[in-house]
A = this chain, B = another copy of it.
C-alpha cells in the first residue's frame, strides 16, 4: 500500500501518479468537493503533505486534472478522421460525445468550472476547422463560427442531459441520438439561415418541396 520512495532525480514520478489517482477519485466521487487531498495521498500510498511537493494546493491540483482532461478530449477528437468533410464533422462530434459519456464526472467538472480559455478554445477550434471544410466544400452554408457554436451546443446539450438525468426515459439509442443531433445541426442550421429573421416564428409547412430537397441530399451519395 505504501509507495516506495523515488530515487533522487525521479521525484516527478509521484506527480504523475497523483494526477492519475486524482482523476480516478474524481470519477468515483463525482464532485470536486468530494476530492480531498487526504484521499488522493492515501490512494497514492503517500502522506498528505507530499502532495504539496508537486502542487501548490488543492486548487492547483484540480486545475491540472482539468487541463489533462481537456487535452484528452481534444486528442480523441483529433483521432477521429474521415476524408469526407461532413463525415469528419459527424465523427468528431461523436468522438466528443463518446468521451463525455465515457468520463461523465470529468466532463461535468470540465464544463462546470469557469473554463480555462485556451484549453476550451483548442477543442472548439477542431470543430470549427471541420465546419470550415464543410463550408468550403459547399456542404454547409453560413458563417462557420455560428455553425460550429450551434453544433457544439447541440452535442453538449445531448450528453450533459444524458449525464445529469440518467433516469429520464430517453426515446432512442445514444448513438442514433448523436447522429441525429449532428444531422439536425447540419441541415437545420442551413435551413434556419435561409429563413427571414423575425420576432415571431412562422408556421412552416413540411411537404413535397422538403421531400424533394431530402431526395437531393441523399441522391449525391447513391
Of A2-10, A73-81, A149-157, the one touching chain B: A149-157
Whether A139 pairs with B195 at a CB distance below 8 angstroms is no
Of A11-19, A41-49, A52-60, A112-120, the one touching chain B: A112-120
* Residue of B with least CB distance to A147: B171
Interface string of A131-148 (1 = CB under 8 A from B): 000000111110101100
Q: How large is the interface on A (under 10, 10 to 19, 20 to 34, 35 or more residues)?
A: 35 or more
Known contacts A207-B216, A209-B213; is-contact A192 B187 (Cβ 8 Å): yes
* Residue of B with least CB distance to A89: B201
Whether A115 pairs with B170 at a CB distance below 8 angstroms is no
Number of this chain's copies in the assembly equals: 2
- Is there a chain B Cβ closer than 8 Å to A1's Cβ? no
Q: What are 26 sample pairs from A and B whose C-beta atoms fall under 8 A apart?
A: A84-B202, A86-B203, A86-B204, A90-B201, A112-B164, A114-B164, A124-B168, A137-B203, A138-B205, A150-B184, A152-B161, A153-B154, A153-B157, A153-B177, A154-B158, A154-B181, A156-B160, A157-B158, A180-B192, A183-B191, A184-B185, A187-B204, A202-B217, A205-B217, A206-B217, A207-B216
